[in-house]
């Protein structure tokens, strides 16, 4: 199973811009490589990361074979209200990985 790491503040003041860093373990197999026997290694990449905050999408990232293995993303959002941030990664197999983090806004 994949492991995802999310680094972000647990709490913030309303209106603050917070930085969120995410990393998920994944080989991001490009589909261009061949194994030792010359057989093509099938493509297997994470295509999409979406992040919602209080149910509304705040960030989306489309990925391609040119995105490095164990895809990393850093971005920002405005702390609006106490709520849950839901991070969803979807790969070529259509299998999503979901992580949730609660942000407390004071």
Written as six digits, the tokens of 35 are 């194994």
Q: Which is nearer to another protein, 85 or 97 (CB)?
A: 85
| CA distance linking residue 87 with residue 75, whole number of Å | 13
Q: How many residues bind another protein (CB under 8 A)?
A: 35
Edge-to-edge, what's the strand order for the sheet holding 11-12?
11-12, 96-105, 83-91, 46-53
Tell me the pairing of strands 72-78 and 4-7. Answer: unpaired
Q: C-beta of 79: minimal distance to another protein in Å? A: 9
Q: Is 77 in the site for another protein (CB under 8 A)?
A: yes
1 near another protein, rule: CB under 8 A: no
Give the residue carrying structure tokens 């992040």.
51
- Find the binding residues for another protein in span 22-41 (CB under 8 A): 30, 32-36, 41
CB-wise, 77 or 97, nearer to another protein? 77
Task: By CB under 8 A, tell whether 78 contacts another protein.
Answer: yes
Tokens of 91: 């790969």
Using the minimum distance from each CB to another protein, give the nearer residue, 41 or 98: 41
Chain-centroid distance, C-alpha 6: 9
Residues of this chain that interact with another protein (CB under 8 A) are 17-18, 21, 30, 32-36, 41, 53, 56-78, 80
């Amino acid at each position: 199973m994949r492991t995802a790491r999310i680094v972000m503040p647990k709490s913030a003041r309303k209106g603050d811009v917070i930085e969120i860093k995410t990393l998920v373990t994944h080989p991001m197999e490009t589909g261009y490589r061949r194994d030792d026997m010359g057989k093509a290694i099938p493509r297997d990449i994470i295509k999409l990361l979406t992040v919602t905050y209080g149910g509304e999408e705040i960030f989306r990232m489309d990925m391609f074979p040119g995105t490095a293995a164990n895809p990393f993303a850093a971005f920002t959002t405005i702390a609006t209200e106490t709520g849950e941030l839901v991070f969803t990664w979807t790969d070529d197999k259509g299998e999503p990985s979901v992580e949730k983090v609660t942000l407390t806004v004071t």
